[in-house]
Structure 1
Amino acid sequence: MHHWWRCLGWVQPQCSTLWFRGIGGLVVLAMLVSLGQAEVFHTTLDNGLTVLIEENHANPVVSAYVFVRTGSIHEQEYLGSGLSHFFEHIIHGGTTRTRSEAESRRLLDAIGNNSNAYTTVDHTAYYINTTTEHWRTAVDLLADWMLHSRISLEEFEREKGVVQRELEQGLDHPGQVLAQLALETRFQVHPARYPVIGYQELVQKVAREDLVRYYERMYTPNNMLVVLVGDIQTASALAHIQSTFGQGIRRPLPAISLPEEPPQLGKRTAVKHLAVAQASMQLSFRTVALTHPHLYPLDVLAYILANGDSSRLVRRIQEEQQLVYSISAASYTPAYAVGTMAVSAALEPDQVTAATAAILQELYRLREELVSPEELARAKKQKLADYVFERQTVEQRAQALGLDMLSTYDPQFSATYVQNIQRVTAEEIRDVARRYFQEETMVHAVVRPKSATPVVAEAPAAAAQHAVLKKTLANGLTVLLQRNPALPTVSMQAYFQGGVRVETPETNGLSLLTANMLLKGTTSYNAEALAQFFDARGASVGAESGYNSFFVTAACLRDDFADIFRVYTDILLHPSFPDD
């Protein structure tokens, strides 16, 4: 996938994805074929509605998406009011001219109640995932919400309170505050500087009439994209979309001209203080927009910097020098503005100066030295793995098609992106490092604590359940197997009884310590060798402890399974528990 500044209310960047030269190119082509690069049906209805349909009969499920080409940068006289996000709350499941809110909820419950919406800088999306027999109901609901919203006063008042509470919570979230601080420091003119959720004082002033005006202005069929992926027939899907969304009337759209951000002529620094226990910071450099050819070496460079435990910044800044608790890098290249190469870190407040100097030293080193062939190959393999894992479900495929279409008007842009990534050379990476790692285009944003308030970690998402084959080996080991030929990936998990439940006051924390130590080395590999082994194959491995168990997980591409499983079992059976 390519790069977005994607936001659920606030600001949350999302990025990346890949291709090999010579023999490697054949490998990636084979991988794309095995992924089932199904033909995507693309048409435009008479009212201007864009439609994408992809048949995928691997499972009896369907994902229906509606993308509206409007986000926080398109709010015109309402810039900074969070109108796009506010309206998303109203329209999703709300009262229409044909159904009450309660009726929509009953229909949603009847088809599985797997529906949500999100708002970003440049688009708003609504989706319903359901089983094959209910896809028409999903399309009916989405069309009704998009074309017939009533924006009742009762729902307006209720959701205004919800949005304000969400906004207030974000004001204390260090990650959101840091991202917004960096954005408004980077962009002085372009409306990307405004938070998607809006400013509190402006959100409070929004009236129902403002939302009605915005709805009539932006929610027109010729500003929408409908994507349907799953166990459907293209002809019947198109006919139903025509009978529902096709009834909407085309309306004139405002000619919104986004201002070009002027050149940055000097380093910019911004600091905010929050009630948090540790500091966080972001070093970013102005780069390019999505369609620039430097997109590809910049994206590979970001992975070389900080994707995986064996990457440069993780190994040197986090592990060896221990200047930060965590570090990441990403190349954000949106379609609507100049991009940013950003390095973000969580650290102690008194380490900000030292960590900044160490990070810059690593970045500037790339202006002089070529990355190694091993680093380059590893980053490309990681990106290929990302491409595969990000398209495992019909929902993921529907979203990917929609985002490609919105940003480039090519629903298969990601496939081209995959190929171009694999053509990147070490010389091209050095060239973009020289061009873009310049102090005069740098933004240094820092969030510092004003009191020692602990930060609460987010809970992991629940994993999907699938039918399995259960086998018990002669040694008593229980094995659960499930074959899914839809994608060339393998996931594995090993669970052990333990966890907090079996700990005593004297041994509290022992299960978590044990889990963490499993990845510190085996009798055959030390911790660095393990990290390099998994990173080089675009694979992942992790260990964790819970209430009644601790577990080790791994995921890899199908072709690497034999090698990965060999080392995975070595971790489980022969951990070294090093003294250091």
Structure 2
Amino acid sequence: MHKMEDFYKGVISQKLSNGLNVVFKHYPGDIVGIAIFIGAGSGDEGEYLGSGVAHLTEHLTFEGRKDLEDELRRLGANSNAYTTFDHTLYFLEVPKENWKQALQVFISALFKPQVSPEVFERERNVVLKEEKFRDDEPGSLVFKLGFENSYINHPYKQPVIGHSYLLNKLTLQDFQKFHQLHYTANNTVISIVGDLEFSEVQKEITAVAQDIAPGSPCRNSYPDEHRNFPVFFSHIYPGKLVYVFISFPGISVFDDDLQALDMLADYLSQGKDSPLYERFVKTGLCYTVSCTNYTPFLQGQFVFFAIMDPKNYGAFKEEFKNFIDDFKSQSLDSARINRLKTRLIYEMLKSQEGVLRIAQNLARDQGITNEFRFPLSYLKKVLQLTPRDIEEVAHRYLNSDISCWVELVPQEQKSPLTKLTLPLEFEKITLDNGLRIILSPRSVTGVVSITALFQGGVRFENDSDNGVSQLVVKSLITSDIQRRFEELGGKISPVSGNNTMGFEVEVLSQNLEPALNLLANLIISPMIDTQEVEIQKNIQMGKLQDLEIDLFYQASKLLRANLFINHPYRNTVEGSYQSIACLEVEHLKEYTRRFFLPNNCVISIVGEFDVPRLKLKIEKLFKRWKKNSLQVTLSPQGPPQKVIFKEKKIPQREVVLEIGFAIPGLNTPYRYAADVLQTLVSGQGSLFFNKIRRAIGASYTLGGGIIIGPETGALVFYVATTPENKNQVREKVIEIINQLRTGDIKNGEIEDAKKLLLTRYNKELIEGTSYGFHLCLEELLGEGAQEYKNYPRKIKEITKEELLDFIDKFIDPSRCVMVEVGNI
């Protein structure tokens, strides 16, 4: 607790003469975080309620200066924004030497937007497409319908993005009126976090913000609604799974029951030993189930969310009602509550790391509660909670007689061609130039996902060009490319990892062909822009400096360097500061010439489309792409012959321990045993959790991870702990590994791990992007896309004997790399 108190002692809050609130926190490093809070969300739209004008204003202020995005990118700044029911938050991180210029650009754009009629129309059309895009995503849609039906007349009944028919009625003058009313000094908090002096910050903000109109607080109050009847709403959608949103009337962030209801939500849903997980996921009724206590400025909701197979829905409805009744009749486990309190302390301490995260939290807390120390008082109240306090709010709030139940249920498929919409059905096409295309038609949503992957990444880099893959794909997505995909109601994202690089695209199904045109031009004729490369280099080098005090990144980096001595995996995806600094445009152009080849590429397309038409389109688009030879020879990396122990001190409060073991590559039967073992030690209720965190309470987070490629891989165990507990934790991890080697694993634990893997697999199938990515990955690096379809069978077939054989051969504590990083 005293560490949190020390943190807030270093925070300075001051109001300027025009009413603008400035919050500052000194934080070491070469990156500055800036967040600007505006006390206006969709619930404050007043006469424009339901139009989404608050969200549209967010778009228009970013577009208010034509040079905003380019200028910020030139300064090496990463910026973004979001709008909620009760506020809008703009934020950026920028190299320290450019923070003043970035702040000036940001302030000017937000408070003096110069929006032409053309920009207004364009951005309104972008938002209209975004609304359709969100409505085509079932998770987003069920929450929109859930809040719409949870309230009677409350402003939060309206979606943040607005209704298209009201959005279409908005004029440029409406935007200007809303902006003038809400984007005022008295309604704004600016937080700045970085290695700066407050006097300098104060002087700069005073200079750039002095012309912002003071305004007056204009928060709209609205009384809590007290519904005395249940609500049920059903919506049919063209998917395969059932999505359920169940809410109970809740509270605002200012309510005295806040802490108890938050703890109730955590108690119900956090971890594999949570009541919800035990009752619904372990039994196979749901793929996922969760709950949250949503507490905005005005009245919120206590929400449950679940996804399941339609065949289980009838049983779920009955079981959920029984579950609520059973839970309210039971006494709560004080030991579990104490573990959740400890977890909350850890999460709140972690929230005090990273300039952008701190800036966002300070601005939000000051803006909403008028007290940047709010988390401190919040935590004190949480730590005082008793089991009885939580039981009491469960009885008062979880009343089925006033609940709201919203369901998304699949539409019955009457077409004889319904087999085409099955999640696992796909067709592979190989063109004459070696390009492989995987087509997976499915009618789950109106969104199509396109993934284009190349062999690349760390596996094809050396010490001198490490990070080039990530730099290439990020540099190719210029602001113009990004904007053109957004105009199609979609987005494009870079992909770069240990073994691959490429792009992921999501777009409305009706815009698939123009999106495919854009992607084809991007990968067949990649245009490397010198200015964009310099911008991305600056961003990447800034990020690398920020990562110098990241516990998990530094531990992983140290472990890789010592485990993969003779393999490229000794490096990281991000590269090194030196390698990125030395990369020039010609290096990137040469890299694309070597690797952007049709015979080194797999493209998957998942979604709703006309297969014959798309085949013709693909043939026409990609036949001009010329193949070439790709010659790379890599050797497996054997295990170390002894224990290699390394440690690194960095200025953090905790210590991360990682132990890595060399394992065989992707195309061996051992990959499935590795997955099972990794899951056995990960998460709440796992072997590590039960024997380290639960038994001795000496860990904040723990688990396992896998690095794997065609020739080699690693299984890594990790634990985050305190300096005083690190020796005890290290000994306990080795003790657990030795117990595993003796066969001390219960069959039930193995089966639980398998179930979790299958749950993860089934969740991946739900999302087109995730499914398409894995199909590409298996086709590009493994034994073909069909292998992904075989994954559930391969996992189910793993026996205890096979798992123990894997552990015996590869998980040997006398032949491993062990690293400790942090407060050594």
Q: What's the counterpart of residue 124 of structure 2?
A: 160
8 Å contact from structure 2 (residues 657, 730) kept in 1: no
In structure 1, what is the Cα distance between the partners aligned to 2:684 and 2:154? 49
Quote the Cα distance in structure 2 between the aligned partners of 1:442 and 1:519.
36
Q: Indicate the residue corresponding to 1:511 in structure 2.
A: 671
Matched, 1:82 2:52: yes
Counterpart for residue 184 of structure 1: 148
Distance 1:526 1:540 in 2: 9
Report if aligned partners of 1:516, 1:543 keep a CA contact under 8 Å in 2.
no
Deviation at 1:112, TM superposition (A): 1.0
Provide the C-alpha distance between the structure 1 equivalents of 2:211 and 2:734, rounded to a whole number of angstroms: 58
Q: What is the alpha-carbon distance in structure 1 between the residues aligned to residue 73 and residue 644 of structure 2?
A: 36
1:223-262 aligned at under 5 Å gives the runs 223-252=187-216, 255=218, 257-262=220-225
2:291 paired residue number:
329
Is 1:485 the counterpart of 2:651? The answer is yes
Name the stretch that deviates more: 456-465 or 559-568. Answer: 456-465
Quickly say closer, same or farther: Cα 1:314–1:526, change in 2 above 3 A. Answer: closer
Q: Identify which of 242, 246, 262 aligns with 1:279.
A: 242
Determine the structure 1 residue equivalent to 2:256.
293
Secondary structure at the aligned position of 1:448 is classed as: strand
Runs of at least 5 residues in structure 2 that lack an aligned partner in the other structure: 414-420, 422-442, 452-492, 498-542, 549-553, 564-639, 752-798, 801-824
Give the CA deviation at 1:187. 0.9
Change (3 A) 1:303 1:105: closer
Preserved CA contact (<8 Å) 1:385 1:556: no
Local SS of the residue matching 2:107: helix
Q: How far has the Cα of 1:122 moved from its partner?
A: 0.9
Q: Take 2:254 and 2:655, find their aligned partners in 1: how far apart are those partners?
A: 30
Residues 1-37 of structure 1 show CA distances to partners (whole Å, capped at 9, x for unaligned) of xxxxxxxxxxxxxxxxxxxxxxxxxxx33x425x734
In structure 1, the residue matched to 2:407 is: 446
Q: Does 1:396 align with 2:560?
A: no
Q: Any stretches of 5+ residues in structure 1 without a counterpart?
A: 1-27, 96-100
Q: Is 1:32 aligned to 2:4, yes or no? A: yes
Aligned partner of 2:562: which letter? Answer: T
In 2: Cα distance, 1:279 partner to 1:213 partner: 42
- Partner SS for 1:54: strand
Higher helix share: 2
Judging changes above 3 Å, is the alpha-carbon distance between structure 1 residues 540 and 287 closer, same or farther for their aligned structure 2 residues? farther
Counterpart position of 1:345: 306
For residue 411 of structure 1, report the CA deviation from its aligned partner. Answer: 0.5
Give 1:558's aligned amino acid: T
- Following superposition, the deviation at residue 84 of structure 1 comes to 1.1
CA deviation profile, 1:226-246 (whole Å, cap 9, x unmatched)? 111111100110011000012
Deviations 1:376-411 (A, max 9, x none): 111111211221222321111111111111221111
Aligned to 1:13: none
In structure 2, what residue type is equivalent to 1:355?
Answer: F
Q: 1:48 to 1:327 in 2, by over 3 A?
A: same
**Alpha carbons 2:56, 2:124 under 8 Å: kept:** yes
Give, in whole Å, the separation in 1 of the partners of 2:367 and 2:495. Answer: 27
8 Å contact from structure 2 (residues 34, 93) kept in 1: yes
Decide which moves more: 476-485 or 321-330: 476-485
Q: Does structure 1 residue 214 correspond to structure 2 residue 178?
A: yes
Q: 1:326 to 1:545 in 2, by over 3 A?
A: farther
Residues 137-191 of structure 1 show CA distances to partners (whole Å, capped at 9, x for unaligned) of 1211121112211112232232222212211110111111111111111111111
Secondary structure of the corresponding residue to residue 232 of structure 2? strand
Provide the residue aligned with 1:16 in structure 2.
Answer: none
In 2, the alpha carbon distance for the partners of 1:169 and 1:297 equals 36
Tell me, yes or no, if the aligned pair for 1:298 and 1:429 is still in contact at 8 Å: yes
Instruction: Give the superposition deviation at 1:491.
Output: 7.2
Name the aligned partner's letter for residue 722 of structure 2: R
- Matched to 1:140, the amino acid is Q
Which residue of 357, 365, 370 corresponds with 2:326? 365
Among 669, 689, 701, which residue is 1:539 paired with?
701
The residue type equivalent to 1:89 in the other structure is H
- SS of equivalent to 1:248: coil
Larger Rg: 2
2:813 — aligned with what? none
Residue type at the aligned position of 1:488: E
Secondary structure of the residue aligned to 1:335 is: coil
Q: 3-state SS of the aligned residue for 2:86?
A: coil
Instruction: Map 1:16-31 onto structure 2 (within 5 A).
Output: 28-29=1-2, 31=3
Question: Which residue of structure 2 aligns with residue 472 of structure 1?
Answer: 562
Matched with 2:767 is none
Any idea what the Cα deviations from partners look like across 1:74-115, whole Å, max 9, x if unmatched?
Answer: 1112111111111111112532xxxxx23x334312321311
Whether 1:306 and 2:269 are equivalent positions in the alignment is: yes
Q: Is the 1:363–1:433 Cα contact (8 Å) retained in structure 2?
A: no
Contact 2:39–2:368, Cα closer than 8 Å, also in 1: no
Say which of 259, 270, 285 aligns to 2:233. Answer: 270
Contact 2:244 2:306 in 1 (8 A): yes
Report the CA distance shift for 1:382/1:562 in structure 2 as closer, same or farther (over 3 A). Answer: farther
User: 1:66–1:127: 8 Å Cα contact kept in structure 2?
Assistant: yes
In 2, Cα distance between the equivalents of 1:70 and 1:435? 31
> How far is the alpha carbon of 1:199 from its aligned partner?
1.2
Structure 2 residue identity aligned to 1:472: N
Q: Secondary structure at the match of 1:189?
A: coil
Instruction: Give me the whole-angstrom Cα distance separating, in 2, the residues matched to 1:495 and 1:209.
Output: 63
Matched, 1:42 2:13: yes
Query: What CA distance in whole angstroms lies between the structure 2 residues aligned with 1:565 and 1:280?
Result: 43
Q: Does 1:379 align with 2:340?
A: yes
Q: Offset of 1:496 from its aligned partner?
A: 5.5
Contact 2:35 2:89 in 1 (8 A): yes
Q: Output the amino acid matched with 2:248.
A: F
Which secondary structure does the structure 2 equivalent of 1:92 belong to?
helix
Superposition RMSD in Å = 3.3
Q: Which residue does 2:24 correspond to in 1?
A: 53
Does residue 116 (structure 1) correspond to residue 88 (structure 2)? The answer is: no
Deviation at 1:472, TM superposition (A): 3.2
Partners in 1 of 2:85 and 2:122 — Cα distance?
Answer: 24
* Contact 2:240–2:310 (Cα < 8 Å) also in 1: no
Residue in structure 1 matching 2:64, options 94, 99, 102? 94
Contact 1:512–1:544 (CA<8 Å) still a contact in 2? no
Q: Distance in 1 between matches of 2:269 and 2:721?
A: 21
Asked if 2 retains the 8 angstrom alpha-carbon contact of 1:518 and 1:572, the reply is: no
Measured in 2, the distance between the counterparts of 1:447 and 1:387 equals: 35
Report how many aligned residue pairs link the two structures.
533
Q: Which amino acid aligns with 2:202?
A: L
Specify which of 171, 188, 196 is matched with residue 135 of structure 2.
171
CA contact 1:310–1:532 (8 Å) conserved in 2 = no
The correspondence of residues 413-424 of structure 1 with structure 2, limited to 5 A, is 413-424=374-385
TM-superposed deviation, 1:540: 4.5
In structure 1, what is the Cα distance between the partners aligned to 2:249 and 2:169?
34
Distance 1:129 1:346, change over 3 A: same
User: Given residue 79 of structure 1, which amino acid in structure 2 is its aligned partner?
Assistant: L
Where 2:318 maps in the other structure, the secondary structure is helix
How far apart are the structure 2 equivalents of 1:426 and 1:239? 50
Q: Does 1:556 align with 2:526?
A: no
How far apart are 1:488 and its partner, in Å? Answer: 3.2
Please give the secondary structure, in 1, of the residue aligned with 2:129. Answer: helix
Q: Distance in 1 between matches of 2:392 and 2:296?
A: 21
2:755 aligns with none
Q: Alpha-carbon deviation of 1:442? A: 1.1
